[in-house]
Amino acid sequence: MEARAIIAAKRDGKALTQAQLDWFATGLASGAVSDAQAGAFAMAVLLNGLDGDERVALTRAMRDSGEVLDWDLPGPVLDKHSTGGVGDAVSLVLAPALAVAGAFVPMISGRGLGHTGGTLDKLEAISGYRTDLDAAALACVTRDVGCAITGAGARLAPADRRLYAVRDVTATVESLDLITASILSKKLAAGLDGLVLDVKCGSGAFMVDEDAAHALARCLVDGAKGAGCPARALITDMNEPLARSAGNALEVANVIGLLTGAEVDARLWDVTVALGGEALALGGLAADAEAGAARIAEILSSGAAAERFARMVAAQGGPTDLLEAPDRHLARAPVVAEATAGTRGFVTAIDTRALGAAVVALGGGRRVETDRIDPAVGLDNLAGIGTSVAPDTPLALVHAADAASAEAAVATLRAAYTIGPVPEEPADLIRARIA
């Protein structure tokens, strides 16, 4: 087999076989396939598409391009993936809650992409927390604590790391087929018994349009099932941030507030509970999603998830007293500025992508891969859709490294909020369930 023939077949609209895709993924991982060939392959797939069987075959091939974890544990191995949003710290709450319910969660997570936040960046805001666990350490923390959250490292799905970097510079990131294989290959390499997918739609999501979110959810669920992993997806609203905080240390503080009951954001709670319910049903730990959701809510309310989160943080190198003394371990920005509404009325719409971009501009995300993140910066106390405001009501607090970046963020925030004379009903949070 050779790369040129495989690329030519897809260029000419032919279906690729499992053997061809295995060969290509192995070549991506080993370096036998060049960057030029990887780019040509990605463009041929983007232009001519993959059918359902090819999508599953590419997912399997990329999953198997590196190590695939194998578990012998007294409970199902479950995970969740989100397509990304603003103020979306569900993973930090859900992983420990699932562990308390009897699941094992070796969560392979990513960094912020574009305007969206990344789970690894949030956790790295905790002093000492390590996101680079190797397979042995991941296995150890997962077995001992019930959950671990780390990056994919060099050994899981190496074909994806290579292809993703090439897609990024060849205008082929948008291919639904390549997105599906990319997301699933990393997740399934963790040896899962079940995967729940949170596919966001709305102004802060990559899929703004609900139909596009449906199409991606369908590809992901069918792709995972085809590759042998039971899966379900929720389509959830991202027309406003999921919580009042956006920014790494601020979101960790917000999560601690939810886990301890000190400050609970209803949207973050509801999405976590809904996804957790689906996951428990998938893993056979609940009769159905509704019963599973009730169990997750009980676990969160009882403080058991908080205790499990604290154990995970300590097991991954973080402090042992994060929940008792979060301010000691989470960086604080030197400048805090109010962005006031400037007018009277109700919040009727939010350009959530602009809020995410404001966090990136403050230094809370990356513009290029080598950018260093400032964990302290971001937005807090974000007003939600439907909030009644007067001219001096804060829409949010901006946490910034200096006065100039705070001022720029305040201007972005004001522009991102639409204030109207009559209240608007917020969109449904859970739009659809895809099995």
**Of residues 110 and 318, the one with the C-beta less far from ligand URA:** 110
CB 63 → ligand URA: shortest distance, Å?
A: 13
The one catalytic residue in 26, 65, 82, 405 is 82
11 within 8 A of 41, measured Cβ to Cβ:
no
Please name the helix (run of DSSP H) or strand (run of DSSP E) that holds residue 430, with its range, or none: strand 430-434
**Of residues 139 and 197, the one with the C-beta less far from ligand URA:** 197
DSSP E strand boundaries for 300-391: 335-340, 345-350, 378-380, 388-389
**Of residues 68 and 73, the one with the C-beta less far from ligand URA:** 68
119 carries an active-site annotation: yes
- Kindly give, in sequence order, each residue whose CB lies less than 8 Å from that of residue 75, ignoring residues fewer than 6 positions away: 102, 103, 104, 146, 283, 285
Which residue minimizes CB distance to ligand URA? 182
272 carries an active-site annotation: no
CB 352 → ligand URA: shortest distance, Å?
A: 18
Q: Which residues are at the interface with ligand URA (CB under 6 A)?
A: 110, 164, 178-179, 182-183
CB 322 → ligand URA: shortest distance, Å?
A: 28
Q: Give the number of other Cβ atoms within 10 Å of residue 403's Cβ.
A: 11
187 carries an active-site annotation: yes
**Of residues 59 and 412, the one with the C-beta less far from ligand URA:** 59
The one catalytic residue in 80, 111, 162, 308 is 80
79 carries an active-site annotation: yes
CB 249 → ligand URA: shortest distance, Å?
A: 24
10 carries an active-site annotation: no
User: Among 327, 61, 94, 328, which Cα is nearest to 194's?
Assistant: 94
Neighbour-count burial of 169, counting CB atoms closer than 10 A to its CB (0-12 exposed, 13-18 middle, 19+ buried): exposed
User: Among 91, 84, 80, 24, which Cα is nearest to 54's?
Assistant: 24
Tokens for 396, please give them: 């949010």
- Hey, is 426 helix, strand or coil? coil
CB 293 → ligand URA: shortest distance, Å?
A: 26
116 carries an active-site annotation: no
**Of residues 179 and 310, the one with the C-beta less far from ligand URA:** 179
186 carries an active-site annotation: yes
Tokens for 220, please give them: 């992901």
Q: Which residues are catalytic?
A: 79-82, 119, 167, 182, 186-187
